[in-house]
Structure 1
């Protein structure tokens, strides 16, 4: 089976190249705080569903509790003709931003 490159994959690659060209101290200026975590959510989803294509992405929200934060995302993953919703919760230390846990659940797209 021939693996196709999606438009989203091409856009992500171009986005990554753009960020390499921006000086490190300017990378976070003007970007929402969840962008970093969204990239991680997409990477973890692609690892779990390697033969699939991520066709949509939504930042659901953020929760802060007891020194920990949870960034929540919903991604739509397509494998052949089937689409599923993948809910990704990334738990991290609020102060250090060290990733503590990645929780994924499947649902409707």
Structure 2
């Protein structure tokens, strides 16, 4: 009797345990993996240019600040946080490109100075 119960459990698992994903689940999974933010390629450019200017630093954080669209130019802004030896600092990267052709007009990098903390009271 014990063998029959075990065989029945195994057969149930084999028959009903695996369910192939429905078409809706498959479509949702594909949509999730295909969703790439519109700023992704500009973020890659921001990181590339930052690494060119700061070759010894590691990029430890990345933030898309936003997009500004004009009639001719679009601007993407990013903030990257870098670490070089014991020094940590931020870099704002602004990429301006022509809206119709997506040709880059300008890439600006601006190092952010860390705000100093006020003196402690005793």
User: Is this a same-fold pair by TM over 0.5?
Assistant: yes
Of residues 31, 36, 48, the one that matches 2:41 is 36
Of residues 78, 92, 96, the one that matches 1:91 is 96
Shift of 1:99: 0.7
**Residue 106 in 1 paired to residue 111 in 2?**
yes
* Structure 1 segment 22-101 matched on structure 2, within 5 A: 29-101=34-106
Any unmatched runs of 5+ in structure 1?
1-28
Runs of 4+ that moved beyond 4 A: none
* Structure in which a larger fraction of residues adopt helix: 2
* Structure in which a larger fraction of residues adopt strand: 1
Over the residues paired in the alignment, what is the CA RMSD in angstroms?
1.5
Matched positions, count: 82
- Cα deviation 1:29-72 (Å, max 9, x = unaligned): 41110000000000000000001100000000000123100000
Any unmatched runs of 5+ in structure 2?
1-33, 115-122
Aligned match of 1:21: none
Flag the structure with larger Rg: 2
TM-score normalised to structure 1 length: 0.71
